[in-house]
A and B are shown apart, each in its own frame.
Chain A
Amino acid sequence: MATNTVSQVVPSPAEDAAALLKAFQGWGTDEQAVIAILAHRDAAQRKQIMLKYEQMYSESLTQRLQSELSGDFERAMYHWILDPVERQAVMANAATKCIQEEYPVIVEIACANSSAELIAVKKAYHDLYKCSLEEDVAAGTTGNLRSLLLALVSTYRYDGDDVNMGLAKSEAKIVHEAVRNGTTDHAELIRIVGTRSKAQLNATFSCFKDEHSSSITKALPHGTDPTGYLRALRTAVRCIADADKYFAKVLRNAMRESGTDEDSLTRVVVMHAEKDMKGISGAFRRRSSVTLEQAIAKETSGDYRSFLMALLGS
């Protein structure tokens, strides 16, 4: 469920464009006005506003926003204004540029989307970057990490509920073997995680837990893995098993005492505000003493905070 609110009756795109121009004019920018408009429009409406603005004032709204705004607020708004599918393609592309650190973003996009949504993201990627997401992911990685990322990004999972319990048991065994033997021979594990349907995988995960009384993620070795493969694997398993819980955890980690990770915070809120933020919010509340809004209010400030709060529906 989305958290950002869009009223029943909205001004026309022309009116919104004019109001935005007014907010840009003069000394400084009226950020609150910008938020008041853009945070409360859905994807189709935002697209209309962008087209109208360009038509009326002969400049790109995106570029104007980039020059008028700054810092974390600007980065958040830049991603927010994009169409949801394009947004994920843009974030995926940014991640492939420094994939050794940003591979969790790729895993999230590959695993938290439905099969059809992932195809749409890949198509948008073709149009934007004139090459495929698979190419860029594969070219920047090696070894197990590459095999896992490529499998996750290429797969078109069956999205039905059919589950074969016998298969789940046997594959739980294979997973256990692979986990026990270190990270040398994970071909079968990657095969399973990279091709089976989500329903089948969840059955496999619960068979694993029943047999070995701990979840796969806990059973994986917890040292530092320079290749990032184990962390990617853990991320994939968590995203597939319970995406809301996973994103809530990302948010919690982003707002630690030691300093806020605005990039992750922006990414999760902006990507999910108009999709399934309510579930993530709920998962956040269950594991912490404060609501998500309270946590964000405490850890952020200024226009950036106002924008995030608007997206969360406060």
Chain B
Amino acid sequence: MPQQVLAQASSNSSPPASPHPPRLRQAPPRKQEREALPAAMPAADEHEELTRAFAGMGGLGVDETALVTALGRWRRQPERRAQFRRGFPCFFSASAGAAAGIERCEDEYLRHLESEFARFKDAAVLWALHPWERDARWAHHVLHQGHHPAGVLVEVACTRAADDLLGARRAYQALYHRSLEEDVAYRVKDATASLLVGLVTAYRYEGTRVSEELATEEAKALAAAVKAAPAAKLVQNEQVVRILATRSKPQLRATFKVYKELHGKPLEENFAGEPCLQEAVRCLDSPPKYFADVIGRAFRDDADKQAKAALTRVVVSRADSDMEEIKDAYAKQHGAKLADAVAKNTHGHYKDALLAMIGK
């Protein structure tokens, strides 16, 4: 090993190391050798560790500590770095950079790195914000970005307590000088608009009073609506929107229960054709189950940008409320502890932050 290091050191443009072999027990190891010692692992392992640290082998976040170690380990050894780049062909392309004599970094990889490095920052900043401001900013972002605004809006509208949703609406006005419902009504132009506006403007009764009679009546009304039209049309059905957007959550849960008893399958199954509707029912029925499902989807190999960002969103927004219930639901759904899944699928400070928020 030391000879390898010395040979590489001499090919550097930096001043050559002394040619004496190391004399143990008589003099302290030379500077290069001291630095060479941590690189006792084979080069292939080093490369793999660095690739993983750079979010090149799946998982969320980057391993900041491993990156810093590598920086130190390969100090003044650009050839090691060049080897690393050559060994990492999907992200560094020798052919693309051949004309300039470099292993050029792919633009997509740079974008990937940007989002992976930013995960910890996003988590920390979101954690510091007031929950109402957080919700307002998410809602605004999702409304002005296009693609699937429904998901986050339904989540915020249906899983927050009545006063927290109101607080988020107030924060939205303070931040953007418009009401949340104005922007939802104006920007959502598809069939889900009336349901979304209804959900977002709800100020539900929060007490426990439930009428079994009403639950039965409305379960029947929902069943009639389901029978009459496919899910895609149901999202505009007056009865469906009215019930979901105005009834209190305990009342809705009673209605869903009666529905399942009467028809053998849960209501959300009948809404499978319209994700907005299905998510609304899931969020209203059992937020922990819904959140555990969202987290699970973030860890999948085919998770896209939104699915991955959802991990930060869920953990930060629920850390102070129903994280314990989410952990239980996750264990039930996936047969593994949430903390273990996070430790396995995330890296670096991002991982530590999530684990700290999730708790033991």
Contacts and interface: CB of A to CB of B under 8 A. Distances in A.
Contacts of B84: none
A175 to B, nearest CB: 14
Nearest to B204: A132
Chief secondary structure at chain A's binding surface:
helix
A190 B203 CA distance: 19
A155 B179 contact: yes
A195 interface: yes
Interface string A182-203: 0000010001001111000000
B79 to A, nearest CB: 60
Contact of B206 (A126, A156, A194, A196): A126
A195 B169 contact: no
Given A119-B166, A158-B177, A130 B201 contact: no
A154 B207 contact: no
A139 B209 CA distance: 17
A135 interface: yes
Contacts, number: 85
B181 interface: yes
A150 B245 CA distance: 10
B209 A131 contact: yes
Nearest to A133: B203
A131 B248 contact: yes
Nearest to B184: A195
Contacts of B112: none
Contact of A156 (B166, B204, B205, B248): B166
Given A139-B242, A158-B173, A187-B194, A197 B178 contact: yes
Contact of B209 (A119, A130, A147, A159): A130
A191 B203 CA distance: 18
A194 B178 CA distance: 13
Interface of A: 119, 122, 126, 130-132, 134-135, 138-139, 142-143, 146-147, 150-151, 154-160, 162, 187, 191, 194-197
15 contacts: A122-B203, A126-B205, A130-B205, A131-B205, A131-B209, A134-B246, A139-B246, A146-B242, A147-B194, A150-B198, A155-B179, A156-B166, A156-B201, A195-B182, A195-B197
Given A131-B209, A132-B248, 19 more contacts: A119-B166, A130-B209, A132-B204, A134-B202, A138-B242, A138-B245, A142-B238, A151-B201, A154-B198, A154-B201, A154-B203, A155-B181, A156-B166, A156-B179, A156-B181, A158-B177, A191-B186, A194-B181, A197-B178
